[in-house]
Structure 1
Protein backbone atom coordinates (compact mmCIF):
# COMPACT_ATOMS: atom_id res chain seq x y z
CA UNK A 1 0.00 0.00 0.00
CA UNK A 2 1.05 3.57 -0.61
CA UNK A 3 2.14 5.20 2.64
CA UNK A 4 2.50 8.66 1.14
CA UNK A 5 -1.06 9.75 0.46
CA UNK A 6 -4.37 8.91 2.13
CA UNK A 7 -6.47 6.48 0.14
CA UNK A 8 -9.39 7.80 -1.90
CA UNK A 9 -11.17 4.44 -2.20
CA UNK A 10 -13.73 5.29 0.51
CA UNK A 11 -14.74 8.69 -0.89
CA UNK A 12 -18.38 8.80 -1.95
CA UNK A 13 -19.10 5.30 -0.62
CA UNK A 14 -21.60 4.65 2.16
CA UNK A 15 -21.24 1.84 4.68
CA UNK A 16 -24.58 0.41 3.54
CA UNK A 17 -23.09 -0.02 0.06
CA UNK A 18 -20.10 -2.01 1.31
CA UNK A 19 -20.02 -5.81 1.38
CA UNK A 20 -20.16 -7.11 4.94
CA UNK A 21 -16.67 -8.62 4.75
CA UNK A 22 -15.25 -5.30 3.53
CA UNK A 23 -16.90 -3.19 6.23
CA UNK A 24 -14.18 -3.60 8.83
CA UNK A 25 -11.51 -2.42 6.41
CA UNK A 26 -13.75 0.36 5.07
CA UNK A 27 -14.34 1.81 8.53
CA UNK A 28 -10.69 1.50 9.46
CA UNK A 29 -9.56 3.15 6.23
CA UNK A 30 -11.65 6.26 6.91
CA UNK A 31 -10.11 6.68 10.35
CA UNK A 32 -6.60 6.01 9.07
CA UNK A 33 -7.02 8.59 6.32
CA UNK A 34 -7.90 11.19 8.97
CA UNK A 35 -4.72 10.45 10.92
CA UNK A 36 -2.57 10.67 7.79
CA UNK A 37 -4.14 13.96 6.75
CA UNK A 38 -3.71 15.37 10.24
CA UNK A 39 -0.05 14.38 10.35
CA UNK A 40 0.66 15.96 6.97
CA UNK A 41 -1.24 19.12 7.94
CA UNK A 42 0.84 19.55 11.09
CA UNK A 43 4.10 19.15 9.19
CA UNK A 44 2.92 21.59 6.52
CA UNK A 45 2.11 24.27 9.09
CA UNK A 46 5.44 23.73 10.83
CA UNK A 47 7.13 24.88 7.62
CA UNK A 48 5.96 28.45 8.43
CA UNK A 49 6.76 29.00 12.12
CA UNK A 50 6.25 32.77 11.87
CA UNK A 51 2.62 32.29 10.81
CA UNK A 52 2.10 29.73 13.56
CA UNK A 53 2.88 32.33 16.19
CA UNK A 54 -0.17 34.30 15.03
CA UNK A 55 -2.51 31.47 16.01
CA UNK A 56 -0.36 29.21 18.16
CA UNK A 57 -2.95 28.13 20.78
CA UNK A 58 -5.30 26.84 18.08
CA UNK A 59 -2.49 25.03 16.28
CA UNK A 60 -1.40 23.37 19.52
CA UNK A 61 -5.00 22.36 20.16
CA UNK A 62 -5.12 20.82 16.69
CA UNK A 63 -1.95 18.84 17.42
CA UNK A 64 -3.35 17.66 20.74
CA UNK A 65 -6.64 16.58 19.14
CA UNK A 66 -4.76 14.67 16.45
CA UNK A 67 -2.44 12.80 18.81
CA UNK A 68 -5.24 12.17 21.29
CA UNK A 69 -7.43 10.86 18.49
CA UNK A 70 -4.83 8.30 17.46
CA UNK A 71 -4.52 7.12 21.06
CA UNK A 72 -8.31 6.81 21.47
CA UNK A 73 -8.49 4.90 18.18
CA UNK A 74 -5.85 2.48 19.42
CA UNK A 75 -7.62 2.15 22.76
CA UNK A 76 -10.81 1.16 20.93
CA UNK A 77 -8.91 -1.44 18.94
CA UNK A 78 -7.23 -2.93 21.99
CA UNK A 79 -10.43 -2.91 24.05
CA UNK A 80 -12.83 -4.35 21.47
CA UNK A 81 -11.45 -5.12 18.04
CA UNK A 82 -8.21 -6.97 18.72
CA UNK A 83 -9.72 -9.33 21.34
CA UNK A 84 -12.38 -10.14 18.75
CA UNK A 85 -9.93 -10.70 15.89
CA UNK A 86 -6.92 -12.21 17.66
CA UNK A 87 -8.22 -15.74 18.36
CA UNK A 88 -8.51 -16.30 14.61
CA UNK A 89 -6.18 -13.60 13.22
CA UNK A 90 -3.05 -12.99 15.25
CA UNK A 91 -2.95 -9.26 16.07
CA UNK A 92 0.10 -9.31 18.36
CA UNK A 93 2.14 -7.46 15.73
CA UNK A 94 -0.28 -4.56 15.73
CA UNK A 95 -0.31 -4.43 19.54
CA UNK A 96 3.47 -4.24 19.59
CA UNK A 97 3.42 -1.44 17.03
CA UNK A 98 0.96 0.49 19.20
CA UNK A 99 3.41 0.44 22.10
CA UNK A 100 6.17 1.92 19.95
CA UNK A 101 3.92 4.67 18.59
CA UNK A 102 2.45 5.51 21.97
CA UNK A 103 5.84 6.49 23.31
CA UNK A 104 6.10 9.05 20.49
CA UNK A 105 2.48 10.21 20.83
CA UNK A 106 2.80 10.65 24.58
CA UNK A 107 5.87 12.78 23.97
CA UNK A 108 4.00 14.95 21.46
CA UNK A 109 1.07 15.41 23.84
CA UNK A 110 3.36 16.29 26.73
CA UNK A 111 5.07 18.90 24.56
CA UNK A 112 2.03 20.63 23.05
CA UNK A 113 0.09 20.55 26.34
CA UNK A 114 2.91 21.98 28.44
CA UNK A 115 1.45 24.95 30.39
CA UNK A 116 4.38 27.11 29.29
CA UNK A 117 4.36 26.04 25.64
CA UNK A 118 3.14 29.35 24.22
CA UNK A 119 6.33 30.94 25.55
CA UNK A 120 8.71 28.05 24.85
CA UNK A 121 7.34 26.63 21.58
CA UNK A 122 9.99 25.60 19.06
CA UNK A 123 8.74 24.40 15.69
CA UNK A 124 11.91 22.37 15.11
CA UNK A 125 11.31 20.31 18.23
CA UNK A 126 7.76 19.42 17.22
CA UNK A 127 8.81 18.80 13.61
CA UNK A 128 11.42 16.31 14.80
CA UNK A 129 8.88 14.50 16.96
CA UNK A 130 6.37 14.30 14.10
CA UNK A 131 8.98 13.21 11.56
CA UNK A 132 10.30 10.40 13.74
CA UNK A 133 6.75 9.11 14.18
CA UNK A 134 5.76 9.26 10.52
CA UNK A 135 7.18 6.02 9.13
CA UNK A 136 6.14 3.71 11.98
CA UNK A 137 2.69 5.33 12.06
CA UNK A 138 1.98 5.22 8.34
CA UNK A 139 3.41 1.72 7.94
CA UNK A 140 1.25 0.54 10.81
CA UNK A 141 -1.88 2.16 9.38
CA UNK A 142 -1.36 0.55 5.98
CA UNK A 143 -0.29 -2.82 7.35
CA UNK A 144 -3.33 -3.04 9.58
CA UNK A 145 -5.63 -2.35 6.64
CA UNK A 146 -3.97 -5.12 4.66
CA UNK A 147 -4.29 -7.53 7.58
CA UNK A 148 -8.07 -7.05 7.83
CA UNK A 149 -8.66 -7.31 4.08
CA UNK A 150 -11.72 -9.18 2.87
CA UNK A 151 -10.21 -12.63 2.34
CA UNK A 152 -8.87 -12.74 5.90
CA UNK A 153 -12.15 -11.60 7.42
CA UNK A 154 -14.31 -13.83 5.24
CA UNK A 155 -12.30 -16.95 6.00
CA UNK A 156 -12.49 -16.45 9.76
CA UNK A 157 -15.81 -14.81 10.63
CA UNK A 158 -19.49 -15.02 9.81
CA UNK A 159 -21.42 -12.03 8.45
CA UNK A 160 -23.36 -11.75 11.71
CA UNK A 161 -20.18 -11.69 13.78
CA UNK A 162 -18.87 -8.79 11.71
CA UNK A 163 -22.13 -6.85 11.90
CA UNK A 164 -22.27 -7.36 15.68
CA UNK A 165 -18.71 -6.10 16.12
CA UNK A 166 -19.33 -3.05 13.94
CA UNK A 167 -22.34 -2.22 16.11
CA UNK A 168 -20.22 -2.55 19.26
CA UNK A 169 -17.54 -0.30 17.76
CA UNK A 170 -20.18 2.31 16.95
CA UNK A 171 -21.56 2.17 20.48
CA UNK A 172 -18.09 2.41 22.02
CA UNK A 173 -17.18 5.41 19.87
CA UNK A 174 -20.37 7.24 20.79
CA UNK A 175 -19.77 6.56 24.49
CA UNK A 176 -16.08 7.48 24.61
CA UNK A 177 -15.34 10.02 21.85
CA UNK A 178 -14.91 13.60 23.04
CA UNK A 179 -17.56 15.75 21.24
CA UNK A 180 -15.45 18.90 21.68
CA UNK A 181 -12.20 17.62 20.16
CA UNK A 182 -12.38 14.27 18.37
CA UNK A 183 -15.77 14.83 16.75
CA UNK A 184 -14.95 18.15 15.03
CA UNK A 185 -11.48 16.86 14.15
CA UNK A 186 -12.94 13.83 12.37
CA UNK A 187 -15.66 15.85 10.63
CA UNK A 188 -13.13 18.34 9.27
CA UNK A 189 -11.02 15.62 7.64
CA UNK A 190 -13.31 12.76 6.71
CA UNK A 191 -14.44 12.24 3.13
CA UNK A 192 -18.16 12.50 2.33
CA UNK A 193 -20.72 11.10 2.78
CA UNK A 194 -20.65 11.88 6.50
CA UNK A 195 -21.22 8.81 8.73
CA UNK A 196 -24.68 8.61 10.24
CA UNK A 197 -23.34 8.94 13.78
CA UNK A 198 -21.74 12.29 13.01
CA UNK A 199 -24.67 13.60 11.00
CA UNK A 200 -27.04 12.75 13.84
CA UNK A 201 -24.88 14.50 16.42
CA UNK A 202 -24.43 17.51 14.11
CA UNK A 203 -28.20 17.76 13.67
CA UNK A 204 -28.76 17.58 17.41
CA UNK A 205 -26.17 20.31 17.97
CA UNK A 206 -27.78 22.56 15.38
CA UNK A 207 -31.21 22.22 16.97
CA UNK A 208 -30.13 22.74 20.58
CA UNK A 209 -29.49 25.95 22.45
CA UNK A 210 -25.92 26.40 23.60
CA UNK A 211 -26.89 25.81 27.24
CA UNK A 212 -28.41 22.44 26.34
CA UNK A 213 -25.65 21.30 24.02
CA UNK A 214 -23.67 19.18 26.46
CA UNK A 215 -26.78 17.33 27.64
CA UNK A 216 -27.90 16.71 24.07
CA UNK A 217 -24.57 15.18 23.12
Structure 2
Protein backbone atom coordinates (compact mmCIF):
# COMPACT_ATOMS: atom_id res chain seq x y z
CA UNK A 1 0.00 0.00 0.00
CA UNK A 2 1.44 3.34 -0.96
CA UNK A 3 1.71 5.90 1.77
CA UNK A 4 0.28 9.36 1.36
CA UNK A 5 2.94 11.21 3.31
CA UNK A 6 5.88 12.95 1.74
CA UNK A 7 8.14 11.03 4.11
CA UNK A 8 8.38 8.10 1.71
CA UNK A 9 10.17 10.22 -0.87
CA UNK A 10 12.75 11.71 1.50
CA UNK A 11 15.98 9.84 0.88
CA UNK A 12 19.50 10.22 2.21
CA UNK A 13 18.51 12.42 5.16
CA UNK A 14 18.51 11.93 8.90
CA UNK A 15 15.42 11.65 11.06
CA UNK A 16 16.31 14.96 12.67
CA UNK A 17 16.05 16.62 9.24
CA UNK A 18 12.56 15.29 8.47
CA UNK A 19 9.46 17.42 9.10
CA UNK A 20 8.15 16.69 12.58
CA UNK A 21 4.80 15.34 11.36
CA UNK A 22 6.56 13.02 8.91
CA UNK A 23 9.03 11.67 11.45
CA UNK A 24 6.89 8.86 12.84
CA UNK A 25 6.10 7.43 9.43
CA UNK A 26 9.64 7.99 8.14
CA UNK A 27 11.13 6.10 11.07
CA UNK A 28 8.59 3.28 10.91
CA UNK A 29 9.01 2.84 7.18
CA UNK A 30 12.76 2.38 7.60
CA UNK A 31 12.19 -0.14 10.41
CA UNK A 32 9.52 -2.02 8.46
CA UNK A 33 11.83 -2.30 5.46
CA UNK A 34 14.31 -4.10 7.72
CA UNK A 35 11.75 -6.83 8.38
CA UNK A 36 10.77 -7.07 4.71
CA UNK A 37 14.40 -7.43 3.64
CA UNK A 38 14.96 -10.09 6.28
CA UNK A 39 11.96 -12.05 5.07
CA UNK A 40 13.18 -11.85 1.48
CA UNK A 41 16.68 -12.92 2.50
CA UNK A 42 15.46 -16.00 4.35
CA UNK A 43 13.37 -17.14 1.40
CA UNK A 44 16.26 -16.51 -0.99
CA UNK A 45 18.66 -18.65 1.03
CA UNK A 46 16.07 -21.41 1.39
CA UNK A 47 16.37 -21.87 -2.37
CA UNK A 48 19.81 -23.41 -1.75
CA UNK A 49 19.19 -25.95 1.02
CA UNK A 50 22.38 -27.90 0.29
CA UNK A 51 24.49 -24.86 1.17
CA UNK A 52 22.47 -24.27 4.32
CA UNK A 53 23.13 -27.80 5.53
CA UNK A 54 26.78 -26.83 5.95
CA UNK A 55 25.95 -23.84 8.17
CA UNK A 56 22.59 -24.54 9.78
CA UNK A 57 23.29 -23.16 13.28
CA UNK A 58 24.15 -19.76 11.83
CA UNK A 59 21.26 -19.71 9.37
CA UNK A 60 18.74 -20.79 11.99
CA UNK A 61 20.19 -18.18 14.34
CA UNK A 62 19.71 -15.55 11.65
CA UNK A 63 16.09 -16.60 11.20
CA UNK A 64 15.59 -16.42 14.95
CA UNK A 65 16.98 -12.88 15.01
CA UNK A 66 14.52 -11.84 12.31
CA UNK A 67 11.49 -13.24 14.13
CA UNK A 68 12.71 -12.06 17.52
CA UNK A 69 13.35 -8.52 16.31
CA UNK A 70 9.79 -8.25 15.02
CA UNK A 71 8.45 -9.37 18.40
CA UNK A 72 10.62 -6.80 20.18
CA UNK A 73 9.46 -4.12 17.74
CA UNK A 74 5.84 -5.00 18.47
CA UNK A 75 6.43 -5.10 22.22
CA UNK A 76 7.89 -1.60 22.03
CA UNK A 77 4.88 -0.37 20.09
CA UNK A 78 2.44 -1.88 22.56
CA UNK A 79 4.31 -0.67 25.64
CA UNK A 80 5.17 2.85 24.49
CA UNK A 81 3.67 3.93 21.19
CA UNK A 82 0.11 2.59 21.16
CA UNK A 83 -0.75 3.94 24.64
CA UNK A 84 0.38 7.34 23.38
CA UNK A 85 -1.69 7.07 20.21
CA UNK A 86 -4.82 5.39 21.55
CA UNK A 87 -6.67 8.31 23.18
CA UNK A 88 -6.76 10.07 19.81
CA UNK A 89 -5.92 7.41 17.24
CA UNK A 90 -7.52 3.96 17.32
CA UNK A 91 -4.77 1.33 17.21
CA UNK A 92 -6.97 -1.68 18.01
CA UNK A 93 -6.62 -2.96 14.45
CA UNK A 94 -2.84 -3.01 14.76
CA UNK A 95 -3.05 -4.84 18.08
CA UNK A 96 -5.27 -7.51 16.52
CA UNK A 97 -2.83 -7.86 13.62
CA UNK A 98 0.02 -8.32 16.09
CA UNK A 99 -1.79 -11.28 17.66
CA UNK A 100 -2.16 -12.99 14.28
CA UNK A 101 1.48 -12.47 13.40
CA UNK A 102 2.72 -13.56 16.80
CA UNK A 103 1.15 -16.96 16.29
CA UNK A 104 3.20 -17.30 13.10
CA UNK A 105 6.37 -15.90 14.68
CA UNK A 106 6.09 -18.18 17.70
CA UNK A 107 5.87 -21.15 15.34
CA UNK A 108 8.94 -20.01 13.42
CA UNK A 109 10.92 -19.45 16.61
CA UNK A 110 9.89 -22.83 17.99
CA UNK A 111 11.20 -24.47 14.83
CA UNK A 112 14.51 -22.62 14.45
CA UNK A 113 15.30 -22.80 18.19
CA UNK A 114 14.48 -26.49 18.54
CA UNK A 115 17.79 -28.27 19.29
CA UNK A 116 16.76 -31.14 17.03
CA UNK A 117 16.14 -28.93 13.98
CA UNK A 118 19.79 -28.95 12.77
CA UNK A 119 19.51 -32.75 12.61
CA UNK A 120 16.12 -32.88 10.90
CA UNK A 121 16.08 -29.57 8.99
CA UNK A 122 13.71 -29.41 6.06
CA UNK A 123 13.84 -26.28 3.92
CA UNK A 124 10.27 -26.76 2.73
CA UNK A 125 8.97 -26.75 6.31
CA UNK A 126 10.57 -23.39 7.06
CA UNK A 127 9.62 -22.04 3.64
CA UNK A 128 5.98 -22.84 4.31
CA UNK A 129 6.13 -21.00 7.63
CA UNK A 130 7.78 -17.98 6.03
CA UNK A 131 5.32 -17.96 3.14
CA UNK A 132 2.35 -18.19 5.50
CA UNK A 133 3.39 -15.10 7.43
CA UNK A 134 4.23 -12.94 4.44
CA UNK A 135 0.80 -11.56 3.56
CA UNK A 136 -0.37 -10.76 7.12
CA UNK A 137 3.03 -9.31 7.98
CA UNK A 138 3.45 -7.13 4.90
CA UNK A 139 -0.18 -6.00 5.05
CA UNK A 140 0.29 -4.97 8.67
CA UNK A 141 3.53 -3.13 7.99
CA UNK A 142 2.00 -1.17 5.12
CA UNK A 143 -1.34 -0.42 6.75
CA UNK A 144 0.36 0.83 9.90
CA UNK A 145 2.32 3.31 7.80
CA UNK A 146 -0.92 4.55 6.29
CA UNK A 147 -2.40 4.97 9.76
CA UNK A 148 0.47 7.15 10.99
CA UNK A 149 0.68 9.31 7.89
CA UNK A 150 1.32 13.01 8.23
CA UNK A 151 -2.34 14.07 8.14
CA UNK A 152 -3.19 11.93 11.15
CA UNK A 153 -0.16 13.08 13.09
CA UNK A 154 -0.80 16.75 12.40
CA UNK A 155 -4.51 16.47 13.18
CA UNK A 156 -4.10 14.70 16.52
CA UNK A 157 -0.75 15.66 18.04
CA UNK A 158 1.43 18.68 18.62
CA UNK A 159 5.02 18.87 17.35
CA UNK A 160 6.31 18.63 20.92
CA UNK A 161 4.22 15.53 21.60
CA UNK A 162 5.72 13.85 18.54
CA UNK A 163 9.25 14.74 19.58
CA UNK A 164 8.60 13.53 23.12
CA UNK A 165 7.25 10.14 22.07
CA UNK A 166 10.12 9.62 19.63
CA UNK A 167 12.52 10.26 22.48
CA UNK A 168 10.65 7.78 24.68
CA UNK A 169 10.76 5.17 21.92
CA UNK A 170 14.49 5.60 21.53
CA UNK A 171 15.07 5.43 25.27
CA UNK A 172 12.91 2.31 25.64
CA UNK A 173 14.61 0.58 22.70
CA UNK A 174 18.09 1.27 24.06
CA UNK A 175 17.10 -0.03 27.49
CA UNK A 176 15.49 -3.25 26.27
CA UNK A 177 17.35 -4.22 23.09
CA UNK A 178 19.87 -7.04 22.98
CA UNK A 179 22.89 -5.32 21.40
CA UNK A 180 24.53 -8.63 20.43
CA UNK A 181 21.70 -9.65 18.13
CA UNK A 182 19.17 -6.89 17.53
CA UNK A 183 21.57 -4.09 16.63
CA UNK A 184 23.71 -6.08 14.14
CA UNK A 185 20.60 -7.58 12.55
CA UNK A 186 18.94 -4.19 12.22
CA UNK A 187 22.01 -2.42 10.82
CA UNK A 188 22.63 -5.18 8.29
CA UNK A 189 19.17 -4.67 6.79
CA UNK A 190 19.20 -0.89 6.38
CA UNK A 191 19.44 -0.24 2.66
CA UNK A 192 21.08 2.66 0.82
CA UNK A 193 20.59 5.61 0.78
CA UNK A 194 19.69 5.40 4.48
CA UNK A 195 22.82 3.58 5.68
CA UNK A 196 24.72 5.86 7.99
CA UNK A 197 21.66 8.08 8.44
CA UNK A 198 19.26 5.63 10.06
CA UNK A 199 19.35 4.82 12.85
CA UNK A 200 21.35 7.82 14.02
CA UNK A 201 24.09 6.31 16.16
CA UNK A 202 26.78 8.06 18.19
CA UNK A 203 30.23 7.75 16.59
CA UNK A 204 31.48 5.41 19.30
CA UNK A 205 28.52 3.06 18.84
CA UNK A 206 28.76 2.99 15.06
CA UNK A 207 32.53 2.68 14.81
CA UNK A 208 33.62 0.91 17.99
CA UNK A 209 30.76 -0.89 19.70
CA UNK A 210 28.84 -2.13 16.65
CA UNK A 211 31.77 -4.19 15.28
CA UNK A 212 32.22 -5.71 18.74
CA UNK A 213 28.53 -6.56 19.04
CA UNK A 214 28.44 -8.03 15.53
CA UNK A 215 31.46 -10.24 16.14
CA UNK A 216 29.80 -12.54 18.69
CA UNK A 217 27.37 -14.00 16.13
CA UNK A 218 29.32 -13.01 13.03
CA UNK A 219 28.43 -16.22 11.21
CA UNK A 220 24.77 -15.22 11.11
CA UNK A 221 25.27 -11.94 9.30
CA UNK A 222 26.47 -13.54 6.07
CA UNK A 223 22.77 -14.03 5.37
CA UNK A 224 22.07 -10.31 5.72
CA UNK A 225 21.99 -8.14 2.58
CA UNK A 226 24.39 -5.53 4.05
CA UNK A 227 27.27 -5.28 6.50
CA UNK A 228 26.58 -5.74 10.20
CA UNK A 229 29.99 -4.33 11.11
CA UNK A 230 29.75 -0.90 9.50
CA UNK A 231 26.61 1.23 9.77
CA UNK A 232 27.58 3.22 6.68
CA UNK A 233 28.98 0.39 4.56
TM-score, normalised via structure 2 length: 0.83
Q: Which residue of 2 aligns with 1:195?
A: 199
CA drift of 1:187 comes to: 0.7
Q: Which residue of 1 aligns with 2:21?
A: 21
1:132 matched to 2:136? The reply is: no
Q: Which residue of 2 aligns with 1:213?
A: none
Q: 1:194 to 1:93 in 2, by over 3 A?
A: closer
- Quote the Cα distance in structure 2 between the aligned partners of 1:61 and 1:199: 28
Q: Which residue of 1 aligns with 2:157?
A: 157
Q: Which residue of 2 aligns with 1:148?
A: 148
> 1:197 is paired with a residue of what secondary structure?
coil
Aligned residues: 205
Which structure: greater helix fraction? 1
Q: After TM superposition, list the pairs within 5 Å mapping 1:8-157 onto structure 2.
A: 9=9, 11-157=11-157
TM-score, normalised via structure 1 length: 0.89
Instruction: Answer yes or no: is the 8 Å Cα contact 1:187–1:198 preserved in 2.
Output: no
> 2:60 is paired with a residue of what secondary structure?
helix
5+ residue gaps in structure 2? Answer: 213-233
1:179 matched to 2:179? The reply is: yes
CA RMSD of aligned residues (A): 2.0
CA drift of 1:207 comes to: 9.7
- Quote the Cα distance in structure 1 between the aligned partners of 2:175 and 2:147: 27
